[in-house]
Amino acid sequence: MKLCGLQMLPASAAMVMAVLGLLEHGSGVEAGAVTTGVPQNPTVPGGECVRMFHSKGDVGCFSLDKDGSRARLVSVTSADAFHHDKLKENSIVLLPDSLFSTENVAKLNGAFIKGLLVYPTSSSSTSFNYESTHPQGKGTVDGVLNPVFGEYAWNPSGRGVMSASLPYPVVEVASEAKAAEFLELARKNERAPVESTFGVVYRGAMAYYFGPAKMDSISCLSFKNIYGNRSPKCLPVGGQSSWGVKGDLSVSKPVVIAMASMDTNAFSHVYAPGANAGASGLVALLAAADALKTIPSSALKKHIVFAAFQGESYGFVGSRRFLSDIQQAKQMPKGCAAPISASTPFGTSHCASPIRSSLAFADLSLDAIDIAIQVDQVAVADMGFFIHPNNPKTSSSESLVDALVNAPSAKGRVQPSTAASAVPPGPLVSFLNDREFGNASLVSAVLSGYDASFPDNYHSRWDTNTSDTAAAANIAQAAQVLAEALFASSAAVPGSELLASIAVNATLVSSLWTCIRTQWNCPLLQAYSKPAVATMNEYLSFTPASAPSFVEPVTLYTSVYSDNRMPTIRLNKSYAVADLADTKWDDAFKVNLYPNAYETFTRAFLASAL
């Protein structure tokens, strides 16, 4: 169905909530150096590490100095310096990224650390990252949500800094060249005595106050002002997921679901390019959906659902919200106290209490899903592609693995992973977690470009994949394998001539790969999104020139779930509510939702492909 007017769309936007909160903050870094004469105030560009809260505490970086910190600039350039150069006064420490670890910094006198400036060097290696060795597993905030597979160390190169709570601000400097002026000032400070009152001491200034020492997400979100009114001091993390179905869900059939994450993570959210960890899986998913346009739904004995989940790096929130909504749908009308049949840009029905922009999910059931495939990190595939199956020794699982390994386009480059019985972190984990919403016996697998461990640049500023041609070719092949396996798993007549008609558009893959990583307002993304944007603008009475937000440079960090990315009910031009439980629906009311450019495009693309 085309994306136009106020018709129901086969790609439905699903609201995403999170258990982590992020304090509102400004971007960039302020730093200064003071001389005895006219002050010089150079600034260094970079990406800050922010403080994030969960129900038990916090992770990230923060300062307890509300007015910011001014401290002596100190440079640490070797591992030996951590042993013999103890800090003796308040200091802002500059160090190369190769030396940044919680173990190294702990060797300094922590009481005197007022901030860190971490800079890359010409010899910086991508052989490490700051993520946990067990991403979203053992020892992390999300470990409780990954009870079965969290013991596996997918990221042996991880230094675990991102799981720590650091009581001082940290900034990743844009480049070694940008840090050079501060390094020179720090070198000059080496000649100045400690706590010197004579001569010149160059000091830096950093202002990153993110709340009191003891704080958690519950306290932060429920904070009240002096008048007793709720006034949250942080915002939940999340965004808009999208899903679509090839077929008519009103017709009862089993479901095969293909999925990918939309987001990524990094020590500084400013530097979270996520080319491989975030973009590659989504591009492969979208390309597979596009390739299956040649297959009529009547040729399938199963529905094929495509789902792009936002916020997976934080509590698997996209996939968990999707499954939660499906579970609540079983309780209808209890699951929706105020169902509304009214056309919006998001469907022909929605819920006003609790707010759901579409009720299309009510036609889905976890019990109907008999196969699930996640595609993950497929831009880097030097050794080919690997299958990570759930319950690998069952006959059903073996059949799924065979469908992927023996896909016509596999050409010997797809094989089972050597990481036996280990499913990597991602949306599939939510589908398998039967301690919450999932089904532990679900026949499922992850198609990836890694075998037993993630690439070393996982969740780092270096996940940029500069080898565009090779990466795009890998993604296109992964998409082709996925599309063929989906058809083989759902075709009414296996091995039919229709299989030969499935062809991934390599040019489309290359363009999507470039746009999603570098420019969300590129012509291709705008072309797909234009009808959806026009419909939203007309429905919400926005000016025709209004457009979804985008970020430059692109970061695939999901960001905070606020303002237009959170669905509300707009009662008039100046008043919106988060729940309409006690008010009767009026046709003048509007579902107020305006996702960012990335999310708008993803939904529009699925709508056009299915």
Contacts of 323 (CB under 8 A, 6+ apart): 366, 430, 431, 436, 437, 438
Interatomic CA distance for residues 304 and 371, integer angstroms: 10
> What pLDDT shows up at residue 24?
36
Interatomic CA distance for residues 309 and 16, integer angstroms: 9
Domain residue ranges of the chain, discontinuous segments joined by +: 11-18+238-351+361-526+600-609, 22-221
State how far the alpha carbon of 270 is from the alpha carbons of 166, 187, 225, 457, in Å: 18, 28, 31, 16
Beta strands in 174-329 (DSSP E): 203-206, 234-236, 240-246, 255-261, 303-309
Interatomic CA distance for residues 264 and 37, integer angstroms: 46
In terms of C-beta density within 10 A (0-12 exposed, 13-18 middle, 19 or more buried), how is residue 89 classed? middle
Rounded to two decimals, what is the model's pTM?
0.92
Work out whether strand 165-166 and strand 57-61 pair parallel, antiparallel, or are unpaired: parallel
> What pLDDT shows up at residue 126?
78
> What pLDDT shows up at residue 562?
79
22-221: which CATH topology?
Glucose Oxidase; domain 1 (3.50.30)
> What pLDDT shows up at residue 334?
65
In terms of C-beta density within 10 A (0-12 exposed, 13-18 middle, 19 or more buried), how is residue 116 classed? buried
Which CATH number fits the domain 11-18+238-351+361-526+600-609, given the four candidates 3.40.190.10, 3.30.70.980, 3.40.50.300, 3.40.630.10?
3.40.630.10
Token pair listed for 198: 């004579």
DSSP 14-75: EE---S-EEE----S----B--SSS-B-----EEE--EEEETTEEEEE-BS-TT-EEEEEEE
> What pLDDT shows up at residue 10?
32
At 561 the three-state DSSP class reads coil
Interatomic CA distance for residues 548 and 556, integer angstroms: 16
Contacts of 451 (CB under 8 A, 6+ apart): 383, 386, 417, 418, 419
Q: How many CB atoms lie within 10 A of CB 258?
A: 25
Is 280 within 8 Å of 328 (Cβ atoms)?
no
- pLDDT < 50 stretches in the chain: 1-39
Tell me the one-letter amino acid at 163: S
How many helices (H) and strands (E) the chain has is answered by 12, 25
Q: Judge whether 11-18+238-351+361-526+600-609 and 22-221 match in fold.
A: no
